[in-house]
Amino acid sequence: MHELLGMAADIISIFLFIIGGGFMLIGAIGIIRLPDFWSRLHAAGIIDTVGAELILTGMMFQAGFTQVTVKLILIGLFLFVTSPTSTHALANAAFTAGIMPLGMKRNESDKVLKPAPVRDGVKT
C-alpha cells in the first residue's frame, strides 16, 4: 500500500515536472523570440507563474507530508503574490518612461489618464 502511494506520487510529480518544464522552456523561447519589451512581459509571466508553481507542486509531491512541503508552500505563496507585483511595477515604469508597444493596434490609455501632474520637476 505504502509503495503504491509512493509510485502514484512519483507519477504525479513527473507529470507536473514535464508540464512545468515545458511551459518554462516555451516562456524562455518567447523571451528570445517575441519582438519587443511589452510582448516579452507575457512570456516572462508564463515562466514566473505557471512554470515555477507547477515545478514547486511537483517537488511537494516528492517531499510528502514533511516540513519541506510547508517551506515549498511558503515559497509558492510568496512567488504567487510577488510576481504580479514586480511585473506591474516593470510595466508601469516602462509606460512612464514612454516606451510604447510595437505596432500597437488600439490605444485607450488617454481615456484613463489625465495629464500627469508635475511635482518637484519630476513627472509622477
Partner 1 sequence: MMRAIGLGVGLFGLWLALSGYFKPFLLSLGVLSCIATVLIAQRMRLLDRETVPLELPLTLLLYWAWLGREVMKSSIAVSRVILARKMPIAQQLIRVPTTQHTEMGHTIFANSITLTPGTVTVETTDDSYIIHALTDAACDMDGFASMDARAAKVGGA
Partner 2 sequence: MFFAILLALMVTMLLVIIRLFAGPTLYDRVLATNSFGTLTVLLIGLLGFLTERPEFLDIAMLYALINFVSTIAILKFFRYRDISRGLVQAPEEEQRNA
Q: How far apart, in whole angstroms, are the C-alpha atoms of residue 96 and residue 38?
A: 13
User: For the chain, what's the residue count?
Assistant: 124
Q: How far apart, in whole angstroms, are the C-alpha atoms of residue 13 and residue 66?
A: 16
Q: Rule CB under 8 A: which of 83-102 touch partner 2?
A: 83, 85-87, 89-90, 93-94, 96-97, 99
| Whole-number Cα distances in Å, 65 to 11, 77, 117 | 17, 17, 54
DSSP element (H, E) containing 44: helix 37-46
121: phi then psi, degrees, rounded to nearest 5 = 75, 5
61's contact among partner 1, partner 2, none, with CB below 5 to 8 A by partner kind, is none
Residue with cell 523570440: 33
Candidates 68, 100, 102, 116; binder of partner 2 (CB under 8 A) is 68
109's contact among partner 1, partner 2, none, with CB below 5 to 8 A by partner kind, is partner 1
**41, amino acid identity:** L
Question: Hey, which residues does 64 pair with through a beta bridge?
Answer: none
Site for partner 2 contains 59 (CB under 8 A): yes
Note the residues at the interface with partner 2 (CB under 8 A).
10, 13-14, 17, 20-21, 24-25, 27-29, 31-32, 37, 40-41, 44, 47-48, 51-52, 55-56, 58-59, 62-63, 66-68, 71-72, 74-75, 78-79, 82-83, 85-87, 89-90, 93-94, 96-97, 99, 119-120, 122
- By the criterion CB under 8 A, which residues form the site for partner 1? 23, 26-27, 29-30, 33-35, 38-39, 41-43, 45-46, 49-50, 67, 70-71, 74, 80-81, 83-85, 87-88, 91-92, 95, 101-109, 111-113
